[in-house]
């Protein structure tokens, strides 16, 4: 089970993946999964501009196909792009050749060296190939803003409870996460700044 802060055992499954940045540095790294979505992503971009923060957006290729203007907004504002497959598919549910083909299809639109697997899992064969071509970025803190069992206040509390030096923090610029994310993200940024964290780009 993938929880707010993955265990050492879970991290060991993908030893070459990036789970956390420098634990000696009081800095955090914001990431957003599942966009671009025109109803959500521009709101996130405006908020990040307000605080002069750059983030990494792990995008779904089919969403880029449907919303190219929103994709360009993210790029033009200086944020990093990561591959999140073309159809947001689970690695365990697909043959490796099909999963890798889906990832390649997405990267034709993104041209990135960053990859994050949807739902945080890959077959070993998929991981073995992908790590040759990408920096595989996982997370140190997943906010669970997508959860129907959480509200915005609870998502904010997750950030406060689990953040630490070097945390790669995952929010979602998706319709499913919209209400929780819009509540928790600005409050999390304000609180993290109050605690002395610097926001850095992967």
User: To 5 degrees, how large is the angle CA 187–CA 191–CA 192?
Assistant: 115
Domain that holds residue 124: 8-199
Is 1 contained in some domain?
A: no
Q: Do 186 and 49 meet the contact criterion of CB atoms below 8 Å apart?
A: no
* Tens-digit pLDDT profile for residues 138-177: 999 999 999 999 999 999 999 999 999 999 999 999 999 9
Is 60 contained in some domain?
A: yes
106 is written with which tokens?
């997405």
Q: How many domains does the chain have?
A: 1
User: To 5 degrees, how large is the angle CA 104–CA 138–CA 198?
Assistant: 120
Residues annotated as catalytic are 33, 172
* Tens-digit pLDDT profile for residues 106-144: 999 999 999 999 999 999 999 999 999 999 999 999 999
- pTM for the model: 0.96
* Tens-digit pLDDT profile for residues 184-195: 999 999 999 999
Is 3 contained in some domain?
A: no
Is 164 contained in some domain?
A: yes
Q: What is the CATH number of the domain that holds 111?
A: 3.20.20.370
Is 51 contained in some domain?
A: yes
Is 127 contained in some domain?
A: yes
Q: Do 19 and 6 meet the contact criterion of CB atoms below 8 Å apart?
A: yes
Is 2 contained in some domain?
A: no
Spell 122-159 as b/e; 16+ CB within 10 A means b. Answer: bbeebbebbbeebbbbbbbbbbbbbeeebebebbbbbb
């Amino acid at each position: 089970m993938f929880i707010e802060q993955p265990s050492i055992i879970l991290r060991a499954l993908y030893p070459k993946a990036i789970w956390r940045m420098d634990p000696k540095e009081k800095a955090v790294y914001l990431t957003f999964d599942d966009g671009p979505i025109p109803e959500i992503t521009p709101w996130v971009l405006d908020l990040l501009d307000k605080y002069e923060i750059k983030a990494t957006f792990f995008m779904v290729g089919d969403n880029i196909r449907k919303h190219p203007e929103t994709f360009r907004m993210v790029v033009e504002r200086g944020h990093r792009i990561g591959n999140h497959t073309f159809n947001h598919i689970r690695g365990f549910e697909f043959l490796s050749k099909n999963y890798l083909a889906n990832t390649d299809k997405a990267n034709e639109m993104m041209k990135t060296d960053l990859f994050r697997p949807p739902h945080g899992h890959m077959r070993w064969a998929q991981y073995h190939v992908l790590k040759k071509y990408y920096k595989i970025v996982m997370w140190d803190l997943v906010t669970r803003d997508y959860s129907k069992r959480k509200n915005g206040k609870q998502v904010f509390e997750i950030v406060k409870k689990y953040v630490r030096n070097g945390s790669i923090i995952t929010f979602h610029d998706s319709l499913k996460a919209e209400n929780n994310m819009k509540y928790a993200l600005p409050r999390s940024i304000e609180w993290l700044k109050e605690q002395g964290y610097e926001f850095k780009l992967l």
